Amino acid sequence: MPPESVIGVDVGGTKIRAGTIARDGSFGRVIDVETPTDGPEPLFEALFGVVEQLLAEGPAAIGIGIPMNIDRRTGIALSAANLPLVSLDVGARVRDRFDLPVGLENDGNATALAEWRCGAARGASDVVALALGTGVGGGLVLDGRLFRGWAEIGHLVVEADGPRCQGNCHGHGHLESLVSGEAASRAAQELWGAEADAHRLVREAEGGDAEARAALGRIGHFLGLAIGSLWNVFSPDVVVVGGGFGAGAWRFLEESALAAARREALRPADESLRVVVAELGDDAGLVGAGLVGFEALDGMR
């Protein structure tokens, strides 16, 4: 008998990644398709399509991570900050189509689950995970269980009346508007013009450019304010910083982030708080989606 596996589907703002995942987080073939952004039905068709391509591998369940907040009572995916989608009954649609247990989770929560089970936060019982990419996602593990509420950590206010947030969010001074890859791109554009982006900002910092390092230091400061505040609420064993921008820029964010976090954290966390960089990289969303599938299979959701 082949080892038990599930299909994990990571629905991102630009692409959908799907693969067959084992309980230890290892995975085989991965399929990437572009995320249709012209409405719900094309999205469902793309989602069904990638699952169909993996069905021959005999999955026991399907897990889906999606960048939407989810109503726990009804399972409806309510809205997305960065996709034109509202009120989708994703879980029921996929369950009806494939007749398998289906788990649905916000992508930030799924990423936290992956880093906790298989990545940088293995063995911890309380974890705050942050993913700094185009936006800022996050998730929490509390008392040894994934917290299944919204955990929209990217929309914490870290600068009173600061810059307007991104996408459909009408807030101001949110973490996402100040520490995302998009925020880093804006900082790069202020230094070097419209063509510059976050990748250049990190490259210039690597080359020793003082302005680039200062800009990343400011971003790290805001990140640290959020980490200190989150620590005061959840007292996690560890904070994990990941996402494409977060992991790639971490060595230029770390010093100012830790300084700000330690300033804001209550004793004794002010000296002992632990922040680590994520281990799973681009795979965290896919692995997390698979682990959500295992939770559905195990009757945990």
Per CB under 5 A, the segment of 23-31, 66-74, 165-173, 239-247 that binds Zn ion is 165-173
In angstroms, give the least distance from the CB of 141 to Zn ion.
23
Say whether residue 162 binds Zn ion (CB under 5 A): no
Angle CA 263–186–155, to nearest 5: 50
In angstroms, give the least distance from the CB of 34 to Zn ion.
26
**Which residue is listed with tokens 């630009």?**
14
Mapped onto helix, strand or coil, the DSSP state of residue 96 is helix
- Dihedral sign for Cα 111, 113, 115, 118, please: negative
Among 17, 117, 148, 155, binds Zn ion (CB under 5 A): 155
Q: Which CB sits closer to Zn ion, 174 or 262?
A: 174
* Strand locations in 115-212 (E): 127-132, 136-142, 145-146
In angstroms, give the least distance from the CB of 149 to Zn ion.
17
**Among 240, 237, 229, residue whose Cα is nearest residue 266:** 229
User: Hey, which residues between 223 and 242 contact Zn ion (CB under 5 A)?
Assistant: none
Tokens standing for residue 301:
């959701």
Can you name the residues that pair with 174 across neighbouring β-strands? 157
* Residues 178, 297: Cα–Cα separation, whole Å: 38
* Residues 275, 130: Cα–Cα separation, whole Å: 10
Q: Which CB sits closer to Zn ion, 8 or 181?
A: 181
Q: Which CB sits closer to Zn ion, 155 or 262?
A: 155
The site map against Zn ion for 43-82 (x = CB under 5 A) is ----------------------------------------
User: Under a CB-based contact definition with an 8 Å cutoff, are residues 295 and 103 in contact?
Assistant: yes
* Residues 59, 79: Cα–Cα separation, whole Å: 29
In angstroms, give the least distance from the CB of 222 to Zn ion.
13
Q: Which CB sits closer to Zn ion, 121 or 183?
A: 183
Per CB under 5 A, the segment of 2-10, 26-34, 128-136, 149-157 that binds Zn ion is 149-157
Per CB under 5 A, the segment of 57-65, 72-80, 155-163, 276-284 that binds Zn ion is 155-163
224: number of Cβ within 10 Å: 26
Q: How many residues bind Zn ion (CB under 5 A)?
A: 5
User: Hey, which residues between 169 and 188 contact Zn ion (CB under 5 A)?
Assistant: 169, 171, 174
Exposed/middle/buried for residue 48 (C-beta within 10 Å: 0-12, 13-18, 19+): middle
Among 165, 201, 249, 261, binds Zn ion (CB under 5 A): 165
Q: Which CB sits closer to Zn ion, 155 or 200?
A: 155
Q: Which CB sits closer to Zn ion, 173 or 242?
A: 173
In angstroms, give the least distance from the CB of 230 to Zn ion.
16
User: Under a CB-based contact definition with an 8 Å cutoff, are residues 287 and 22 in contact?
Assistant: no
Kindly list the distances between the CA atom of residue 136 and the CA atoms of 154, 160, 174, 177, 280, in Å, as whole numbers in the listed order. 5, 18, 10, 9, 17
In angstroms, give the least distance from the CB of 300 to Zn ion.
30
CA Rg, the chain, in Å?
Answer: 19
Q: Which CB sits closer to Zn ion, 7 or 136?
A: 136
Residues that bind Zn ion (CB under 5 A): 155, 165, 169, 171, 174
